[in-house]
Each structure stands twice: as structure tokens, then as C-alpha cells.
């Protein structure tokens, strides 16, 4: 069976993470994604990541992470010939995704307004920090700026450590996922053709629904509660003999099962712990009572036993540890590309977390070298080999 987006051509004009992560999902779902990059330097992510040698080669780890399956062409959009060539490429496209600052594409004459009349079926998606209008429209934005502006940092950590940044670029990835979802929905419309305005700020706030609603509806200002789940108790992170463990006894019956398993059944009748609200009010004392038992054995033992009796529990793992588990390793989440050009060794990458008919969708090709598909794409539009040489000499491609 063809993938859901088979036959869809996407022009990816994006850089670093939010936009590339959006198009990463579209590529895995079957779209042909053509990455249009700046001549000579390409996506900034090509120069980012934990391996300086790969960054020097413009195949940085940050680029490899979300660009497998795409094709790369280079183009100077400021050059008249580059703009003309790009418009020919737009003629063949179903979707255009960009994450320039608002106004950049308009100055190039390539924004949605400029393209709409000639391409009424084009789905144009603009991803930015704060959206395409409003008083903050021209503010520069990176992930950490959005984490701070959204209030997410103010509720991350505890009273001693907040505000605290999340350990990965959550605002960028959430913005990219939101864009991919909106594009997939727009592709289902008949007739197609729309302008999608994705604000990383609003996308992040949307994922904070419970936190936002507690303030809007109940008037409770969100606070930083560390590893404690404020909606229930005992529910949070507990110390064991080795690594911490998360236990979420959110239902009363789970609390009873947990207490009995730890030989603490008498606590169920303790006046401080009798109801959910009692346990929430006295959560720190309850935590100490539970840890007095939990600290005698390793987290993995407790995880196995508590899960078996119906109490949600899981050891707190490192990234290497979870990637090595059969749960991740055997479900097709990771894929390996052999001897990747420009990297000159095998590269293992994450896919999307999606399963279609019990199979993880993948892509056939590794992340591309800068301009790797110039000849393929530009000659398909009728550009001759002689013209390609001239365009390259003129710095157009």
C-alpha cells in the first residue's frame, strides 16, 4: 500500500528544527520533500551538533536528526534567476513550508500573497516564534525564548530550581508537529489551498492545556512542583536503592494496592491519607513514608512488581538506557543508514513514533549532502546541463 502522502511534493525552506521536524514527519508519511537551501551554507543545523568534524563537513548531527529521506537543492532566492527558478519549482509543488522571520518572504516577493493567484491550490505554511501578526511579530525567537515566554519554564523544576528549561527543544518540536498536523489536514481539503500560520508560542501553550485551564477556569496560578503530580498522591518520583522510580497511584484502588504491597496497609486508614485530598495535602510526609520502604530495593524490581499488580510505575531511565530496551529497539523506531555519503560511516536515527498497520513508516535515503539533488531537480524542470554550469558559476545554485 502507498504511504498516505505518496505523490505529494513539499518544498522545505526551513532551518534548524521546527520546520525541518515538520517536514521530517511529512517525508516519513510518503511526501517527496525537497529541501531548498542557501548556496554555500545550507541549513544552519548542518553546522550544529555534538560532532565537530561532521559540523565542519556541513553534515552536523543536528541536521542528520530530522532530514533523512529529503532531497537537497541550493538556490539564491535573492538573485533574479534564482527567484525565477524557484517559481518554476513552486509550479510542481503541493506544499511550501518556511520558518523565516515574518516579512522575509514578502520582501523576496515569494510570500503567500505573492504566490496565491498563480498557485491557488498551494498549501503555504509559515512557522514563526509568535505568529504572523501581533505586537511581537518581529521579535526573534529560538526554542528557549519560547519556553520562557510561554510560562513553561516557570512551572518546570521546583521552588528551588524554577524557572528551568526543559532538557530538549520542546517548543521547536511541538511547533513542528503542530505544523505537520495542520498540513496533513489541509491536504485533505477539497479544494486545496490555504495559508497556515503556526506560532511556536501558541503551539506550546496549547500543549499546556491543563495548566492553562486551571488558571483560566479555576483561578489557580500554576506553580513549579518538581516531580510531584499535583492532581493526585502518591504520584511522582521516589528514591529507591539505586535510581529513582516514578509511581502514579492516581486512583484510590491503586493507592491501596501500593500501600499493601509495601506492607504499609495501615496507612490507608491514617487520617492524613484517607482521601485523595488528604493525601495531596500531606504528600511530602506520605513520600517519606513510602521511600522508607522503597529505598531498600532497586527501582527495576519495584517497577516489575508494582506493574504486575496494576500500579503504574517505571524506573527513571537515561536516554541510552531507553534506546537499548527491546520496547524501543524492536518496534522499528530506530533506523540505520549504511555508509552515509558526507558522513562516511553508518548512521542510526530516530523515526517518528508513528505506526501504520503495525509498521513504522520509514524513508529510503539518508540525510542529503548540501545540493546533492541539484542536477536531478533542476534538469527535471528543463534546465540544461550547460545552464546548470552557468547558474553555479553565477552563484544562483
Query: CA–CA separation, 247 vs 314, rounded Å?
Result: 7
Q: 238 forms bridges with which residues in the sheet? A: 245
Sign of the Cα pseudo-torsion (94, 99, 104, 106, in order): positive
Distances (CA, A) of 37 to 67, 74, 86, 105, 254: 12, 5, 11, 14, 54
Strand order in the sheet with 32-37: 71-74, 32-37, 9-12, 95-98, 123-128, 194-199
Paired sense of beta strands 95-98 and 235-238, if any = unpaired
Query: CA–CA separation, 109 vs 193, rounded Å?
Result: 19
* Backbone torsions φ then ψ of 123, nearest 5 degrees: -90, 115
Q: How many CB atoms lie within 10 A of CB 266?
A: 10
Which one is catalytic: 172, 239, 289, 301? 172
To 10 degrees, what angle do helices 299-308 and 252-261 make? 130
Examine the residue annotation and report whether 172 is marked as an active-site residue of this protein: yes
With CA atoms as reference, report the closest residue to 244 among 295, 278, 195. 295
End-to-end CA distance of the chain: 36
Residues 6+ away with beta carbon under 8 Å from 389:
none
Contact 176, 186 (CB under 8 A): no
Residue with cell 508494582: 306
Q: Known catalytic residues?
A: 172
Amino acid at each position: 500500500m502507498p504511504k498516505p502522502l505518496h505523490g505529494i511534493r513539499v518544498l522545505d525552506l526551513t532551518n534548524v528544527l521546527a520546520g525541518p521536524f515538520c517536514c521530517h514527519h511529512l517525508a516519513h508519511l510518503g511526501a517527496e520533500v525537497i529541501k531548498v537551501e542557501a548556496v554555500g551554507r545550507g541549513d544552519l543545523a548542518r553546522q550544529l551538533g555534538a560532532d565537530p568534524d561532521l559540523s565542519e563537513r556541513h553534515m552536523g548531527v543536528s541536521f542528520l536528526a530530522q532530514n533523512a529521506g529529503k532531497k537537497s537543492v541550493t538556490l539564491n532566492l535573492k538573485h533574479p534567476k534564482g527567484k525565477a527558478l524557484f517559481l518554476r519549482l513552486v509550479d510542481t509543488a503541493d506544499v511550501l513550508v518556511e520558518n523565516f522571520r515574518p516579512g522575509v518572504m514578502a520582501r523576496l516577493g515569494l510570500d503567500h500573497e505573492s504566490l496565491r493567484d498563480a498557485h491557488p491550490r498551494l498549501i503555504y505554511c509559515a512557522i514563526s516564534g509568535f505568529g504572523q501578526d501581533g505586537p511581537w511579530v518581529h521579535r526573534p525567537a529560538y526554542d528557549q525564548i519560547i519556553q520562557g515566554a510561554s510560562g513553561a519554564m516557570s512551572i518546570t523544576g521546583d521552588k528551588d530550581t524554577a524557572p528551568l528549561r526543559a532538557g530538549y527543544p520542546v517548543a521547536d518540536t511541538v511547533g513542528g508537529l503542530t505544523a505537520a498536523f495542520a498540513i496533513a489536514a489541509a491536504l485533505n481539503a477539497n479544494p486545496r489551498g490555504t495559508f497556515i500560520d503556526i506560532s511556536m508560542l501558541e503551539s506550546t501553550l496549547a500543549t499546556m492545556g491543563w495548566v492553562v485551564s486551571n488558571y483560566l477556569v479555576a483561578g489557580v496560578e500554576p506553580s513549579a512542583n518538581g516531580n510531584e503530580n499535583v492532581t493526585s498522591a502518591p504520584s511522582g518520583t521516589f528514591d529507591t536503592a539505586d535510581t529513582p522510580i516514578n509511581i502514579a497511584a492516581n486512583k484510590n484502588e491503586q493507592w491501596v494496592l501500593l500501600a499493601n504491597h509495601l506492607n504499609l496497609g495501615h496507612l490507608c486508614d491514617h487520617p492524613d491519607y484517607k482521601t485523595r485530598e488528604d493525601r495531596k495535602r500531606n504528600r511530602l510526609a506520605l513520600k517519606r513514608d513510602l521511600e522508607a520502604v522503597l529505598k531498600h530495593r532497586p527501582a527495576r524490581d519495584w517497577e516489575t512488581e508494582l506493574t504486575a499488580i496494576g500500579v503504574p510505575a517505571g524506573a527513571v531511565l537515561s536516554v541510552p538506557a531507553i534506546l537499548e530496551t527491546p520496547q524501543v529497539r524492536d518496534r522499528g523506531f530506530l533506523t540505520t543508514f549504511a555508509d552515509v555519503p558526507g558522513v562516511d560511516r553508518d548512521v542510526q536515527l530516530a523515526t517518528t513514533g508513528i505506526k501504520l498497520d503495525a509498521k513504522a513508516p520509514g524513508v529510503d535515503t539518508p540525510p542529503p549532502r548540501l545540493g546533492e539533488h541539484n542536477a536531478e531537480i533542476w534538469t527535471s524542470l528543463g534546465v540544461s546541463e550547460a545552464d546548470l554550469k552557468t547558474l553555479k558559476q553565477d552563484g544562483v545554485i
